[in-house]
Homo-oligomer: A and B are copies of this chain.
């Protein structure tokens, strides 16, 4: 399947490269705290799509960013994404047993270890970003920390997750669901695409174009994810399906039906691509990934 498709090849290459960056950062210590590092490694070295790291690398290529620097930022963002999955899967949250085709961290270890592994991955992300190996310019490093913190805090990912798990108590309309998705998954996806512009000290309009691209891409991605939950094959997805309906989750698919939701995702993907008109053929992988997120089966 990965044979000749350049996007799938790029995604696979991203995965390997990010893992090579993270491996020495997650050296297992001698003491009894090794358990939490084992859990961090278990979570981060599981076969994910690596969409966010890919966006960091692809946006970095637009501005001729050093690849090792881009990989460090990609690794930091993957740490934040993985922490959010570990905590979201906990019994107190979404209570998921399977993730990326394997038992979730709290199943493979225990709840306490999963909480701590998530905490440590979030912390590690900031530790990676402030190191001078990430960028020699101090202002760039500070901007990366700020962008990641704001995307993942209570105004971003954590706030979105709070809305998501309490959404059963509210009746969310279309605008409220878009806002929820933008916070829960969109903010970190936007930060990933912006990272290349920050690292490359791009012009404001270039950074705004990438923000617009990432916002539409993130929403299309989330609708596709919700469609997969309704229609997908758990064997291919590597996680349980049809959980949203059972948990009474607020999704656009539930609100507008699969047909209109699919139309919406296609429109958003096209819109995402239009935001890239500023960029030449170096943006072709970013264009391809917008097509990919709405056609993927897992």
Contacts and interface: CB of A to CB of B under 8 A. Distances in A.
Interface stretch (A111-119, A201-209, A220-228, A279-287): A111-119
A65 to B, nearest CB: 19
Interface string A96-116: 000000000000001111011
A61 B124 CA distance: 30
Interface in A137-153: 138-139, 141-142, 145-146, 149-150, 152-153
Interface string A26-46: 000101110111001000000
A110 to B, nearest CB: 7
A167 interface: yes
Given A122-B119, A150-B127, A162 B29 contact: no
Contacts of A162: 32-33, 35-36, 113, 116
Contacts of A124: 149, 153-154
Interface residues of A, number: 55
Contact of A87 (B115, B138, B183): B115
| Copies assembled | 2
A163 B32 contact: yes
Q: Is the interface of A mostly helix, strand, loop or mixed?
A: helix
Interface of A: 29, 31-33, 35-37, 40, 83, 87, 90, 92-93, 110-113, 115-116, 118-120, 122-124, 126-127, 130-131, 138-139, 141-142, 145-146, 149-150, 152-155, 158-163, 165-167, 169-170, 176, 179, 183
Given A31-B159, A33-B163, A138-B142, 9 more contacts: A36-B162, A87-B119, A118-B119, A120-B154, A120-B158, A123-B158, A124-B149, A126-B126, A138-B139
17 contacts: A31-B159, A31-B163, A32-B166, A33-B160, A33-B163, A36-B154, A36-B159, A87-B115, A92-B111, A116-B158, A118-B119, A119-B119, A123-B153, A123-B158, A124-B154, A130-B146, A131-B146
